[in-house]
Amino acid sequence: MKRDDDCKGMDDKSKTQKKKEALALQDLGEKLVKLSAEQTKEMQLPEELHNAVSFARTIKSRGALKRQMQFIGTLMRKIDNSPVREAIENIEEGNYKKALKFKETENWREELIAGDRVLLEDILNKYPEADRQKLNQLIRNAVKERENEKSPKASRVLFRYLSEIRSE
């Protein structure tokens, strides 16, 4: 006769699978701790989890922080974590898009200073509210500044203007 614990059901999880899930929730908790207080407040976390995340931000001791992260992982198991996971993914995606936009604007600035007139026309066509005269003047100032090996003040002004027209 077989005992019940010898025959595992198909929906029982292995010890390894349970451990992987626990570590994934702990990683999710670490991402929560790295967010700003404002961002976690907007997520409307359960009070106990919110307090645990807030407390983790104040801990300096490595060991104590590790224990707190394990506690946060335990709390995460008790709630439906899909909204939390989705909110974190949206925040991370937003940060990625911001960084990508910043890098692209930097590239535009460098290419415009290098004399790429085709890019200038593309920008003016894509952003009709951009002032052609002002953009040309900013480019000239940045070019002159580079030629004279001065500090990149005009280059920064050009970057700000390109960022401004992209956000309008």
Domain ranges of the chain: 15-86, 97-167
Report how far residue 109's alpha carbon sits from residue 116's, in angstroms, rounded to the nearest whole number. Answer: 10
**High-pLDDT (> 90) share of the chain, %:** 58
Q: pLDDT band at residue 11, thresholds of 50, 70 and 90?
A: low
Whether 97-167 and 15-86 are alike in CATH topology: the answer is: yes
Average pLDDT along the chain: 88
Q: pLDDT band at residue 125, thresholds of 50, 70 and 90?
A: very high
Report how far residue 23's alpha carbon sits from residue 70's, in angstroms, rounded to the nearest whole number. Answer: 9
Cα-only R_g, the chain: 26
Residues 6+ apart with CB under 8 A from 94: none
Tell me if the pTM is above 0.75: no
Query: Alpha-carbon dihedral of residues 22, 25, 27, 31, nearest 10 degrees?
Result: -160
Q: pLDDT band at residue 150, thresholds of 50, 70 and 90?
A: confident
The third-level CATH classification (topology) of the domain covering 15-86 is Diphtheria Toxin Repressor; domain 2 (1.10.60)
Tell me the two tokens of residue 122.
């593309």
Architecture field, domain 97-167: Orthogonal Bundle (1.10)
Report how far residue 33's alpha carbon sits from residue 64's, in angstroms, rounded to the nearest whole number. Answer: 14
Residues 6+ apart with CB under 8 A from 22: 73, 77
Amino acid sitting at position 35: L
Packing angle, helices 82-113 and 15-34, rounded to 10 = 50
pLDDT at 141 over 60: yes
Tokens 């052609």 identify what position? 132
Q: Which of 103, 128, 97 is nearest to 111 (CA)?
A: 103
